[in-house]
Amino acid sequence: MYSSYKAMFLLFLCIWGAKAVDPLGEFCNRNTNISNGGKISANIDKVLGEVALKTPSTGFVATSYGKDRDQVYALGQCRGDVSTEDCSSCIQDATKQILQRCPNQADARIWYDYCFLRFNNKSFFGEVDTSFGIFYFNVENVTDPEAFNEELGTLMNHIRAQAVVPKEEGLGKGKSVLSPFVTLYALVQCTRDLSQISCAQCLAIAVNNFSNFCSNRKGCRVLYSSCYVRYELYPFFFPLDSNKTGPSNAVRLSVYT
The predicted-structure confidence for 25-78, as pLDDT tens digits, reads as follows 999 999 999 999 999 999 999 999 999 999 999 999 999 999 999 999 999 999
With cut-offs at 50, 70 and 90, classify the pLDDT of residue 254. confident
Task: Based on the fold, state whether residues 202 and 234 are members of the same structural domain.
Answer: yes
- pLDDT at position 3: 36
With beta carbons less than 8 A apart as the criterion, state whether 162 and 168 touch.
Answer: yes
Q: State the Rg of the chain over Cα.
A: 18
Task: Based on the fold, state whether residues 89 and 138 are members of the same structural domain.
Answer: no
Whether 158 shows a pLDDT value over 90: the answer reads: yes
Whether 10 shows a pLDDT value over 60: the answer reads: no
- pLDDT at position 7: 37
- pLDDT at position 17: 44
Q: Are strands 72-78 and 182-190 parallel, antiparallel or unpaired?
A: unpaired
Name which of 21-35, 75-89, 97-111, 243-257 the model is least confident about: 243-257
Task: Based on the fold, state whether residues 211 and 149 are members of the same structural domain.
Answer: yes
Q: Reading across the β-sheet that carries 227-232, which strands appear in turn?
A: 7-16, 250-256, 132-138, 220-223, 227-232, 182-190, 171-179
Domain boundary among 120, 150, 171: 120
Domain boundary among 120, 154, 179: 120
Whether 18 shows a pLDDT value over 80: the answer reads: no
- pLDDT at position 248: 59
- pLDDT at position 14: 35
As beta bridge partners, residue 232 has 185
Task: Based on the fold, state whether residues 225 and 113 are members of the same structural domain.
Answer: no
Residues 6+ apart with CB under 8 A from 65: 43, 46, 47, 50, 71, 72, 74
Task: Based on the fold, state whether residues 174 and 75 are members of the same structural domain.
Answer: no
For the chain, the farthest-separated pair of C-alpha atoms sits apart, in whole angstroms, at: 60
- pLDDT at position 148: 98
Whether 13 shows a pLDDT value over 50: the answer reads: no
Q: How far apart are CA 186 and CA 221, in angstroms?
A: 10
- Number of Cβ within 10 Å of residue 156's Cβ equals 23
- pLDDT at position 249: 78
DSSP annotation of 245 reads: -
The domain total for the chain is: 2
With beta carbons less than 8 A apart as the criterion, state whether 99 and 169 touch.
Answer: no
With beta carbons less than 8 A apart as the criterion, state whether 219 and 152 touch.
Answer: no
With cut-offs at 50, 70 and 90, classify the pLDDT of residue 143. very high
With beta carbons less than 8 A apart as the criterion, state whether 246 and 236 touch.
Answer: yes
- pLDDT at position 257: 62
Overall residue count recorded for the chain in this entry: 257
Higher-pLDDT residue of 242, 30: 30
CATH number at residue 138: 3.30.430.20
Task: Based on the fold, state whether residues 109 and 143 are members of the same structural domain.
Answer: no
Task: Based on the fold, state whether residues 149 and 105 are members of the same structural domain.
Answer: no
Q: How far apart are CA 75 and CA 61, in angstroms?
A: 6
Q: Which helix (H) or strand (E) holds 30?
A: none
Task: Based on the fold, state whether residues 45 and 113 are members of the same structural domain.
Answer: yes
Task: Based on the fold, state whether residues 115 and 193 are members of the same structural domain.
Answer: no
Q: Which of 45, 25, 23, 27 is nearest to 94 (CA)?
A: 23
Task: Based on the fold, state whether residues 148 and 233 are members of the same structural domain.
Answer: yes
Whether 165 shows a pLDDT value over 90: the answer reads: yes
Helical packing angle, 196-208 and 145-163, nearest 10°? 160
Backbone angles phi, psi at 156, to 5 degrees: -65, -40
199 found inside a domain? yes
With cut-offs at 50, 70 and 90, classify the pLDDT of residue 4. very low
pLDDT in tens, 224-233: 999 999 999 9
Whether 6 shows a pLDDT value over 70: the answer reads: no
155 found inside a domain? yes
Q: How far apart are CA 83 and CA 49, in angstroms?
A: 20
What's the domain range around 162? 132-256
Judged by DSSP in three states, 76 sits in strand
